[in-house]
Structure 1
Amino acid sequence: MDEIMHAVVIDDEPTVLESLEQWLALADIQVETFTDARDALPLLNGDFRGVVLSDIRMPGMDGMSLLQAIDSSIPVILITGHGGIAQAVEAMKLGAFDFIEKPYKQDRLVELIKRACQQRQATLASQPQHSSAEVDDWLPSKIIGESAATKILRGHVQALARVNADVVISGETGTGKELVARSLHALSIRHDQPFVAINVGAIAESLLESELFGHEAGAFTGAQKRRVGYFEAAHQGTLFLDEIESMPMSFQIKLLRVLQEREVVRVGSHNPIPINVRIMSATKEDLREAARDGRFREDLYYRLMVAEIHLPALRDRIDDVPVLFAHFLREAARNNQLEAPTLNYDDILALELHHWPGNVRELKHTAERYLLTRSFSGISVSDLLQLGLSNRSTMFSGEGSLSDRLEQVEKALISAELSHHSGNIKLVMEVLDLPRRTLNEKMQKYGLKRETFVTAKDDKE
């Protein structure tokens, strides 16, 4: 076989992993080992070309949970001890490639892995894939910014996009949780299947079961005809549950059962309906803390929290503000068939000094308002500078030496000029009366990159 055989081996006992790695290396099988299945998830995406060999009984995430968390086309061979045969048979029903019982023969294990690798390579050959270049081009156009926090976020999205694991997306209100969920779906193997979004907090408790699971005609007063629920509507695709922390405790046990069994029963029926969905949940709270406080079921938390993406607040990636604002301003101008205005110096500085408690959502609404009124709700840059050391709505709030705070101002001024002049270094040098070397050193010090501020229209360098 021309393809290099690759196996991800998972077992919570390091000695077992060491032994397996030595055996398989002798058979020319490339091996990566993990003691925790959750650590292997980012690797097990749609592009993964190998096979998974996993013990069934492990702490954290067991072999059965791993099987259901990853792409169903990835071959999984489960290792079972004496007495685990019934569980292994159940795993076969859920789509495992095969299982092998301890103690196993080396030749038998190698044969299974070779067959599984051949199957995986045949599957990939017949599947259209997103190329790395496509992902690299697509993600920055959706998740905009070049700050360190944004680059890390894009890396997490790319790593988890083609993994079939359920994901919890956490972050403050307005940070873009649904955008991240849609990005994960668009880059996944389910991209041509439905993406169904529902705000759990907006549905009355009495209607949750009917909305999520559906109902039969006559199931209750007013149910005149059968209704397909959101789970069924998202079959083969992705279901996005926003504000999951607001789900009533009384309903959480019902959701847990659906996630465990992967089937729903419509209200007024007794017939289970199999569903194949990837669940993405969004929360503005710390679900771990909510579980500890008894406000969220702990077992549901562990079922949902296979993988997590945390979105940074806009104040923690303030370098992205000018670029994001320009994007939203152009978008608003296009939607209203108007010409996008050029920001003046004071406007850009005001954007950089604001704390943005409403995050990206507030920034977008501010851009739309600026297009029509040319103002930021009447707050001028001089107001912001006067409030700088006392009002917590600016970058200057909190602790810090005079030197630190002066550096914040210097960074904001340079960033504002770069944005105002679309990255034209010569103009920025003239306005700030700085030699090129000094400007370059300060830009490097503050992590400011010229290309972040340049548009194709205005690139004159």
Structure 2
Amino acid sequence: MKNNPETLLVVDDDPGHRIMLITLLSEWGYQVQGAEDGATAVRLCHETPFDLVLMDIRMAGLNGIEALTQIKAWNPAIIVLIMTAWANTETAVSAMKAGAWDYLTKPLDFDELKMTIERALDHVALSSENQQLRDVLATHLQLQEGMVARSDAMRQVMNLVQAVAPSEATVLIGGESGTGKERIARLIHDNSPRRNGPFIAINCGALSETLLESELFGHVKGAFTGAEKARPGRFAAANKGTLFLDEIGEMPLPMQVKLLRVIQEREVQRLGEDQPQKIDVRLLAATNRDLQDRVATGEFRQDLWYRLNVVSITLPPLRERVEDIPLLADAFLTRFARRNGKQLKGFTPQAMDCMLKYRWPGNIRELENAVERAVVLAIGDYVGLQVLPPTLNPGDDQEPSPLVFDDMSLEEIEQAAIARMLEVTGGNKSEAARRLGITRKTLHQKISRGTGESGPGSSSA
């Protein structure tokens, strides 16, 4: 039994079927009520905050679609699953347009019913928790997309950001590559008095010493070969705002001397120009190196380290904040699904379990890329194990080996994935549909499209 069982409403004008479902769902640990028609269901939804409604579509009086419309008008957040013995495209479209989360075909497949209910409730719980965390963190912070933190380590980071953002203090942000150092820098800027000013970022490790000096300080026309016109430089561009120096540990020693002078004097001198210019810039810096070690080896100036390390924020690697993976993955899925015009409901349990167990050497950046790839290749309503990068899912005796998608159309990719899954499951269509994250009916429809058949296809286990 659940510690806090979700409350479900079963709506069906067939008393035998309704009582059977109430009994079954109660055995699964849910708190269940019943309604014999659509009008009663609407009334009960006004009286009780149900977590999910399981409703037949064909009922005397107020039918399922009409009841669904009224229930969603009263409470748009409620999950409604539609049951129908008369499944067709028109029925599905009508139900989805009215706000149904999904629809199930009678006679019900109880394994599919259980999985659909669990996924629906998990998805809404995750979205609710994500929003609650955002509400808590956003009390004093204007958060960016994907900035979620359930782990204690990231909550401590957010507390530091909240404390330091309103100040003018220089902040040194540490952490492995891909942990989100630039996002934290932007978060500090967005919540500072300089939020209306520019945020300028530069990667100090991506440029040679000469180019880095020109990029930071600017130059006049003719200052060096190729300087065909004057350029103000990043410091000048960031005036009244924030300059973010990424990978500061890679800055050459001669440039470190010049940067130290800029910090001390609050002025820059363009290459080829005699007079310095005053600047009003807040500095934020980031590194994936241990700067104290580099100071000890003479690769980084100690006086510059003192200047930069006024406040230090260290971001934990993703493997040490596993609690945040579902929230981050959900945020990335929402973004990439919208960008690619897909209606995805979440991750299959197997896919999420795989992501939770993976070590993520590339941290948040790797997770973001993995989710984007999975969204692009996803076939059904859910992101399954088979579309995650092979590095996450090396494969075992129960899962299909990675498919090669070179020079294949989207439809060919879909049919290849279905064929491989049917091969792995020994032709068991119910199991193949479960692993693909789609219903058995949807699987039949996709197989029929691939073979050119007009009928529902042959029956299989």
* TM-score normalised by L of structure 2: 0.53
Q: Are residue 207 (structure 1) and residue 219 (structure 2) matched? A: no
Instruction: Give yes or no for contact 1:314–1:359 (8 Å, CA) kept in 2.
Output: yes
Q: Are residue 345 (structure 1) and residue 357 (structure 2) matched? A: no
2:239 alignment partner in structure 1 = 235
Point out where structure 2 has 5 or more consecutive residues left out of the alignment. 1-135, 379-386, 399-461
In the alignment, the residues of structure 2 paired with residue 265 and residue 249 of structure 1 have an alpha-carbon distance, to the nearest angstrom, of 18
Alignment of 1:135-154 (within 5 A): 135-136=139-140, 138-139=142-143, 142-154=146-158
Structure 1 pair 380–254 and aligned structure 2 pair: CA distance change class (3 A) = closer
In the alignment, the residues of structure 2 paired with residue 385 and residue 158 of structure 1 have an alpha-carbon distance, to the nearest angstrom, of 48
Find 1:247's aligned residue among 241, 251, 270: 251
Q: Are residue 187 (structure 1) and residue 191 (structure 2) matched? A: yes
Deviation of 1:209 after TM superposition, in Å, equals 1.5
1:257 alignment partner in structure 2 = 261
Q: Are residue 373 (structure 1) and residue 373 (structure 2) matched? A: no
In the alignment, the residues of structure 2 paired with residue 334 and residue 379 of structure 1 have an alpha-carbon distance, to the nearest angstrom, of 25
Alignment of 1:11-90 (within 5 A): none
Secondary structure at the aligned position of 2:200 is classed as strand
In the alignment, the residues of structure 1 paired with residue 288 and residue 141 of structure 2 have an alpha-carbon distance, to the nearest angstrom, of 29
Q: Are residue 296 (structure 1) and residue 308 (structure 2) matched? A: no
Point out where structure 1 has 5 or more consecutive residues left out of the alignment. 1-131, 387-461
1:178 alignment partner in structure 2 = 182
In the alignment, the residues of structure 2 paired with residue 358 and residue 279 of structure 1 have an alpha-carbon distance, to the nearest angstrom, of 26
In the alignment, the residues of structure 2 paired with residue 343 and residue 302 of structure 1 have an alpha-carbon distance, to the nearest angstrom, of 46
Deviation of 1:340 after TM superposition, in Å, equals 2.1
2:321 alignment partner in structure 1 = 317
> Which deviations, in whole Å up to 9, do the C-alpha atoms of 1:196-246 show, x marking residues without a partner?
011111112121211110111111122122110100000111000001011
CA-based RMSD of the aligned residues comes to 2.4
In the alignment, the residues of structure 1 paired with residue 138 and residue 352 of structure 2 have an alpha-carbon distance, to the nearest angstrom, of 32
Q: Are residue 267 (structure 1) and residue 271 (structure 2) matched? A: yes
Deviation of 1:382 after TM superposition, in Å, equals 8.5
Find 2:221's aligned residue among 217, 221, 226: 217
Deviation of 1:336 after TM superposition, in Å, equals 1.4
In the alignment, the residues of structure 1 paired with residue 394 and residue 254 of structure 2 have an alpha-carbon distance, to the nearest angstrom, of 52
Secondary structure at the aligned position of 1:328 is classed as helix
Alignment of 1:95-110 (within 5 A): none
In the alignment, the residues of structure 1 paired with residue 217 and residue 241 of structure 2 have an alpha-carbon distance, to the nearest angstrom, of 16
Secondary structure at the aligned position of 2:143 is classed as helix
Structure 2 residue identity aligned to 1:187: N
In the alignment, the residues of structure 2 paired with residue 359 and residue 210 of structure 1 have an alpha-carbon distance, to the nearest angstrom, of 32
In the alignment, the residues of structure 2 paired with residue 337 and residue 200 of structure 1 have an alpha-carbon distance, to the nearest angstrom, of 37
Secondary structure at the aligned position of 1:228 is classed as coil
Q: Are residue 164 (structure 1) and residue 187 (structure 2) matched? A: no
Deviation of 1:159 after TM superposition, in Å, equals 0.5
* TM-score normalised by L of structure 1: 0.53
Pick the structure with greater CA Rg: 2
Alignment of 1:276-287 (within 5 A): 276-287=280-291
Structure 1 pair 222–380 and aligned structure 2 pair: CA distance change class (3 A) = closer
In the alignment, the residues of structure 2 paired with residue 224 and residue 182 of structure 1 have an alpha-carbon distance, to the nearest angstrom, of 33
Deviation of 1:134 after TM superposition, in Å, equals 5.5
Deviation of 1:341 after TM superposition, in Å, equals 4.5
> Which deviations, in whole Å up to 9, do the C-alpha atoms of 1:83-124 show, x marking residues without a partner?
xxxxxxxxxxxxxxxxxxxxxxxxxxxxxxxxxxxxxxxxxx
Deviation of 1:372 after TM superposition, in Å, equals 1.8
Deviation of 1:141 after TM superposition, in Å, equals 5.2
Structure 1 residue identity aligned to 2:199: F
Structure 1 residue identity aligned to 2:197: Q
Deviation of 1:380 after TM superposition, in Å, equals 7.2
Structure 1 residue identity aligned to 2:254: S
Structure 1 residue identity aligned to 2:296: R
In the alignment, the residues of structure 2 paired with residue 222 and residue 262 of structure 1 have an alpha-carbon distance, to the nearest angstrom, of 28
Instruction: Give yes or no for contact 1:346–1:381 (8 Å, CA) kept in 2.
Output: no
Deviation of 1:373 after TM superposition, in Å, equals 2.2
> Which deviations, in whole Å up to 9, do the C-alpha atoms of 1:180-205 show, x marking residues without a partner?
00000000000001100111111121
Deviation of 1:385 after TM superposition, in Å, equals 11
In the alignment, the residues of structure 2 paired with residue 381 and residue 133 of structure 1 have an alpha-carbon distance, to the nearest angstrom, of 33
2:43 alignment partner in structure 1 = none
Deviation of 1:357 after TM superposition, in Å, equals 0.6
Deviation of 1:378 after TM superposition, in Å, equals 3.3
Deviation of 1:149 after TM superposition, in Å, equals 1.1
